[in-house]
Chains A and B, each alone.
Chain A
């Protein structure tokens, strides 16, 4: 089944404890992106990647890192999480660019205490 998977789905952590949220797609898509969704603020783009080893900032990249070493994986790294990073995170992929239909993962609900 064609899909985008994220792990973990739920995470409660404490301020400053490094964490990684994994994202994987099995559709051989070139484009991948991370978003966070907060009430009243909608979906905001954190980082995106046009292809392997090519990443760029979205609208809210502060406090986050990403890497794209393989086509299928696009992990989101929070080196020192803070409470303002408590949010619902979505990973998405599309065939070539953001212009194409984006397929979203199921989401990761992160709480930073």
Chain B
């Protein structure tokens, strides 16, 4: 069956360090992958999109990689800040309509 796994439910890091979140998938050949941020009690907010033919995408302190051979995406936040503390979701898109989201990784950045 199709499955998305995001690394460990919680990730704790020190302010200023780089946070690396993992999204692994099986039995997919996704055309696109997106990362979202979700704060408690709120809807997810889009961060980055990467296509299957792109290896890497950057936006300010954020970087996403997409390895279709390993079936893995890595999401990096450099120079992390306490304000980056949130749950981060990865989402895969096989076709134009269906979306599949991972469970999310909760990141806590300590001052």
A residues whose Cβ falls under 8 Å from a Cβ of B: 4, 31, 33, 35, 40-45, 48, 50, 56, 58-59, 90, 92, 96-99, 101-107
Contacts and interface: CB of A to CB of B under 8 A. Distances in A.
A98 B96 contact: yes
B34 A101 contact: yes
Contacts of A103: 46
Interface stretch (B59-67, B69-77, B78-86, B97-105): B97-105
Interface size class of B (residues with CB under 8 A): 20 to 34
Contact of B103 (A4, A42, A45, A101): A42
B96 A99 contact: yes
A59 B100 contact: yes
28 contacts: A4-B43, A31-B97, A33-B99, A40-B103, A42-B4, A42-B89, A42-B101, A42-B103, A42-B104, A43-B44, A43-B101, A48-B97, A48-B99, A50-B96, A56-B97, A58-B98, A58-B99, A59-B100, A97-B96, A98-B98, A99-B31, A99-B32, A99-B96, A102-B34, A102-B44, A102-B99, A106-B42, A107-B42
